[in-house]
Amino acid sequence: MPFSNLPPLLSEALAAREYSAPTPVQAAVLEPEARGRDLIVSAQTGSGKTVAFGLAMATELLDEAGKIVPARAPLALIIAPTRELALQVSRELIWLYGRAGGRVATCVGGMDASKERRALSHGAHLVVGTPGRLRDHLERGALDLSDLKAVVLDEADEMLDMGFRDDLETILDASPDGRRTLLFSATMPKPIVSLAKRYQKDALRIATIGEDRGHGDIAYQCITVSPSDIEHAVINLLRFHEAETAMLFCATRDNVRHLHATLVERGFSAVALSGEHSQNERNHALQALRDRRARVCVATDVASRGIDLPSLSLVVHVELPRDAETLQHRSGRTGRAGKKGTAVLIVPYPRRRRVESVLKGARINAEWIETPTPEMIRANDRERLLAALLAPVETDEEDIALAERLLAEKSPQDIAAALVRAHRNAMPQPEEMIEQTPEARREAQQERHRPGFEDIVWFRMNIGRRQNADARWILPLICRRGHVTKNEIGAIRIGQNETMFQVPRAIATKFQASVAKTAEPDEDVRIEQSASGPEQQEGPRPSRGPQQRGPHGAGRPTLRHQAKPYQRKGPPRK
């Protein structure tokens, strides 16, 4: 249905941007029952929710003539988790409310705070910002919330995951009681529900996410590979799809740096986005993607927040997402605004059951496919090459003169063959993958065992990621308690609430006796033998162990298979 019952100036702004009909989330917030009420909206990224909450606020921001209501302080506040998302929202609201006379101020970390204060003092009707910077302006007296009519929390679940709860509560507590609170989130975990109960009144719940999978315009695919073949799979996926723009997700900045260097070395035009990059570097990387000077972006989860690239058609989960929400947020970078996209999960053999469980919990129907082989890639290359060479091109006199000279020196067949070869040489070569048979999988798993650890016993510790467990201090602790050297400890797997590690069976009894002997009465960390290994549990990849053979030779570490959050140094707090 077309947009209806909107102020004329908003309708003109939408028409100028070629908006002909509202998306489901936009239509839902315009329903009569949503008018003037607090809203809890479950909407996937790329569904048009920025325009949706812009339209939802219109009744509070515009007068009867459709012009912005005069005010000495901001009328609307939009809070977003990252700089990129805040800047994107700001750009959308500028064109949406520009004809109505609305002024938009953006307040984000990494920008000039003094310029932001001047923009606020000159009178901004809508303020868009990140939680930390908005709280800073609020506490310094630069941000006046006394006239606020509406507050929007965009991607609220991600803001809570990033630790912004205190900032959000400070801002909401300082805003007037009569304001509207619009909460937009792709997922609705318990912390979001708790936040909504505290700060919303008689909120209307709107859910526009499909029941079958998180995003109807995204085709989900899964491939299983040997853990040592992950980078080869990345290269073959990029070559098979040859997407206009592709985004690869890693869990840590170190893995982003490593994979980015590998791809550049192989001839891909790639950029990197992670927490170690400055705002200026991030802007340059994004501009390179928009200008098509780069076609591949390697990023961490947080660094990719708010990125909107219209040409992005392929998302690759190089390292598996930690949960269903992360999977949906990552994949939501593609398949936006009605366009089709593909999201591929690279699944190490030992992790397939866990991935199937995550997909089921997210109601995502993924297709398990074969990893693209060199033969499949070359077949696609031939079709793409023929299409490119047979496409009509514009020529000038200089081109024709050079072509006639070439025809005088060589036959048309030789010239065409040279042209084909030049096209092929410009493409990175695909990789040979380990054959996906049960025997090959067993061999790949056996390659990961260190000599002397063929027969092992698993031990368990009562600490995990929640207690900031880190192999850098866990390993010395194990050695001290068990009277062993680090070479006598095998793989260490750090889980959410516990850590498991390997000890050769030959010394397991001696190790257990030493652990019992060295235990102190007030010891916080308990070590005990485990009846089963982590294969029957949900856990990450070993934190230490042998390096795998990478695409450029032995000794190159492979990417980790599990997201690893920030961890402090030192033993756990008592």
60 and 110 share a domain? yes
Confidence of residue 97 (pLDDT cuts 50, 70, 90): very high
Q: What is the CATH number of the domain that holds 259?
A: 3.40.50.300
Structure tokens at 400: 């024709």
User: What does the pLDDT look like over 1-59, one tens digit per residue?
Assistant: 457 678 889 989 998 988 888 888 888 898 989 988 999 998 766 678 889 999 999 98
Q: Do both 38 and 186 map to the same domain?
A: yes
Task: Give the residue among 484, 371, 386, 480 at the shortest CA–CA distance from 433.
Answer: 371
Sign of CA dihedral 194, 197, 199, 204: positive
The pTM is what? 0.55
Q: What is the pLDDT of residues 312-354, one digit of tens each?
A: 899 999 998 888 878 887 888 787 656 788 999 999 888 888 8
201 and 224 housed in the same domain: no
Same domain, 134 and 232: no
The last residue of one of the domains, among 320, 349, 375, is 375
User: CA torsion 57→63→68→72, rounded to 10°?
Assistant: -100
The CATH code of the domain that includes 533 is 3.30.70.2280
Do 179 and 325 sit in the same domain of this protein? no
- Do 201 and 251 share a structural domain? no
223 and 328 within one domain? yes
407 in any annotated domain: no
Query: Based on the domain organization, do 333 and 368 belong to the same domain?
Result: yes
Residues 242-261 have a mean pLDDT of 91
User: Cα–Cα distance between 321 and 358 in angstroms, integer?
Assistant: 9
Domain count, the chain: 3
Q: Which one, of 230, 248, 85, 208, lies nearest residue 154 by Cα?
A: 85
Domain with 344, as residue range(s), is 218-375
175/238 same-domain check? no
- Among residues 375, 409, 436, which one ends one of the domains? 375
Q: Please check whether residue 403 lies inside any domain of the structure.
A: no
Q: Which of 206, 154, 203, 145 is CA-nearest to residue 177? A: 145
Task: For residues 170 and 224, state if they share a domain.
Answer: no
Same domain, 47 and 168: yes
Q: What is the pLDDT of residue 442?
A: 53
On average, the pLDDT of the chain sits at 82
